[in-house]
Amino acid sequence: MSVLEIRGLQVSVDTENGSVDILKGVDLTIKSGETHAIMGPNGSGKSTLAYSIAGHPKYTINGGSVTLDGADVLAMSVDERAKAGLFLAMQYPVEVPGVSVSNFLRTAATALRGEAPKLRTWVAEVKEAMEALNMDPSFATRNVNEGFSGGEKKRHEIMQLELLKPKMAILDETDSGLDVDALRIVSEGVNRAKANNDLGVLLITHYTRILKYIKPDFVHVFANGHIVEEGGPDLADKLEANGYADYVSK
Amino acid sequence: MSVLTTNYLTPTGREEAWRFTPLKRLRGLHDGSASVDLRHSLITKAALPSGVTFLRENLVPLAASDDVIIERIRGEASETAHLAIAADIEISEPIFLTRSNGSMDSAELSRVRISLGTHAKATVIVENIGETLLAEDLEISLSAGSSLSFVSLQEFDAKTVYTARHHAVVDKDASFRSINVTVGGDVVRILPTVEFTAPGASAELLGVYFATAGQFFEHRMHVDHAVPNAKSRVNYKGALAGKDAHTVWIGDVLIRAVAEGTDTYELNRNLLLSDGARADSVPNLEIETGEIVGAGHASTTGRFDDEQLFYLMSRGISLDNARRLVVRGFFSEIINEIGNEEVQERLMSRIDNELEKAGA
C-alpha cells in the first residue's frame, strides 16, 4: 500500500512579467488502488500540479510538501521521482529526434528496474503491451513521439505506464485529442495498470467523458490554484450538467 | 627530409578563408616552416576486390586550387596514391583505407586520388587515425553515371593536425555522397568541395563533428553549380563541450548564371553542451540565375532542450544517460547513413566517451 500525500502545495512560475503564483495551497491524498479525478476550467492550475509533482524545472515550489510513503518527493531529482514510483502521462509528450521507441523503453526499464531486462522476455513484454493498445509493431523503430499523431502519443504514454509499472500515475489530460475508439483503448490500458499493479491514479481532465471509462473514486474540483470542492463520482455528473461557472466566480 | 622553400602567399589570418583558423597551431603547414617527411601513410586495410587498384602514380591535379597548403603539397609531392575503381563495377562492401606511420616531428604532404569509371558504384571509408602532422590534397573523380559514398573518419589522437581539401569532380548523372566525421585531433581543417561538370550530377555532403576542450574543427564546403540541372544537399551537425572547444562550419554554394534548374539546400545544426565553447556557422548562398528549382539554407545553434531531458528523466533515466541519448539521437541521422554497423557503433561509443570526458 502506497500513499501520495500533497500538503499545502504552493507553486509559482516565472513569466516575462515576473513570478506568477499558480498553486495556492493544494491538499490531496491518494492511496494505492484509488482513482482521483481532478476537474477544472482551463488555466486553473491542473497541469501545474501534475508537472510540479513530476519535478519540471520550470516551476518554483514556494511552500507545502509532497511525500510518497513518507519520502520527500520535492527533494528528489526528476529521475529519482520516477524511481520512487511516480509516473506522469503528459498532455504534450516531447519529441526526441534520433532516439527509437524501443531504445527509449529499454533504457527507461533498465533505469527503473536496476538492471537491463532479459532480451527475450523484454521483446515479448513490449510486443504484448503494443498489441494491447492496438499499436503497429513498426512503432518500436520510430523516433520517440516524432511525427506521432495525437492519439499515437497518448497510446505511447499509456504503453509506458503499463511497462514501467509505477505506484502512482498522474494522467494529464490524457483524453484530450482522442476520438471515441482511441479513448476506449487508452482507458482500458489505464484500467489494466490499475488492476495489475494496484496503481493509484490522479486523473486530470477538463471533460467528464473519460470518467465513463475510468471510474473515479473521488472527484475534486480545481479552480484558481486550489481544490474548491470534493465529492464522489456523482460530483462529476453535477459538473457535466452545470459546468464550472459556479466555481470560477467564487 | 626537406624544408619547404617555395614562396607561396603565406596566410596571415586576415584572409576570409583563414579568419577562423588558429594558424599558430598548424605547426608550420601553412607558412612552409614545417620540415617535410616523404612518408606515405595511406594504406589499404584488406585485399582489394577485383577491378579495384591502389597504386602510387604521377597524376596531374584534377582541378586548380586557391588554397595555399594545397599549392605547397602540389609543389612538393610528386606521387599520388590512387584508388581506382574500374568502369561498370559495383562493389557492395565498403573499401577501407587506413593510416600508418604518423609523426608529429615532421609533416606529411599527401596527394590522394579516388576515381570511378563510368557507371561504377562503391563505398570508400577512410579511417584517419593516429598522431600525425598531415596536409592532404584528396581529389575524387566520378565519371558519368557512377556513384560513390566517400566516408572520411577523423578519429585522430589528441595532438594531430590535419588540413585537407576533399575535392570532388562530378560528371553527368553521377552521384557523389561524402560523410565527414570529425571527433579527434587538435586542429582539423577540411575543405569538402564539389564541382559539377555536366547536367544531372548530384552531391550530398554530410558531416558530424564533436569538439571538446581546446579542439578546433573547421569544415568549409564549397559547391560550385557551373552546369544546369545539378542537385546538392549539405547537412552538417556538430556538438561542442568544454572550454575553448571551437568549430567552424562554412557553407559556400555558388549557382552560376548557366546553372539553370539547380536544386540546392544546406543545413548546419550545432549543439552547445557547455559554456566556454564556440560554434561559428556561416551559410553563404550566391545566386546568379533565378531559373532554379530551389535554393535555401538554415543554421541553428542551441543548447540541450530542457523538455527532452525532462521527458527522458521522468521515465527514470538519469541526467547523464538522458544527455547521452539526446546527443546520440542528434548524430544518428547522419552516422546511420554510413551503412556499416561496426563503424557506426564505434563512432557512437567514441561520442559517448567524449561526452563523458567533457563532463557535459
Per-residue model confidence as pLDDT tens digits over B107-137: 999 999 999 999 999 999 999 999 999 999 9
Cβ contact, residue pair B316, A111, below 8 Å: yes
Is position B332 within any domain? no
Mean pLDDT on B227-239? 97
Our count of domains for chain B comes to: 1
pLDDT of residue B2: 47
Is position B359 within any domain? no
Is position B84 within any domain? yes
Mean pLDDT on B222-229? 97
A61 close contact with B: CB closer than 8 A:
no
pLDDT in tens, A107-148: 999 999 999 999 889 999 999 999 999 999 999 999 999 999
A83 close contact with B: CB closer than 8 A:
yes
Which of A47, A79, A92, A141 to mutate against chain B (most B CBs within 10 Å)? A79
Is position B159 within any domain? yes
Is position B310 within any domain? no
Q: Is A171 helix (H, G, I), strand (E, B) or coil?
A: strand
Cell digits of residue A212? 465513463
Contacts of residue B255, defined as CB under 8 A and 6 or more positions apart, other chains included, come to: B225, B262, B264, B285, B286, B287, B288, B289, B292, B295
Average pLDDT over chain B reads 95
Q: Say what the pTM is.
A: 0.90
Is position B254 within any domain? yes
Is position B309 within any domain? no
* B346/chain A closest Cα distance in angstroms: 17
Chain A residues in contact with B331 by the CB 8 A cut-off are: 98
Mean pLDDT on B195-200? 97
Cell digits of residue A45? 492550475
Is position B291 within any domain? yes
Assess whether pLDDT exceeds 50 at residue B52.
Answer: yes
Which of B305, B308, B316 is nearest residue A108 as measured by Cβ atoms?
A: B316
Residue B71: which of B156, B13, B116, B9 has the closest Cα?
Answer: B9
Minimal-distance CA residue of chain A relative to B318: A79
Q: Specify whether the CB–CB gap between B111 and B56 falls below 8 A.
A: no
Domain of B119 in residue numbering reads as 2-304
Residue B3 pLDDT class (50, 70, 90 cuts): very low
Which of A83, A93, A103 is nearest residue B316 as measured by Cβ atoms?
A: A83
Q: Specify whether the CB–CB gap between A5 and A183 falls below 8 A.
A: no
Least confident of A71-85, A184-198, A232-246, B128-142: A232-246
Chain B residues in contact with A95 by the CB 8 A cut-off are: 308
pLDDT of residue B279: 97
In angstroms, the CA B116 to CA A213 distance is 65
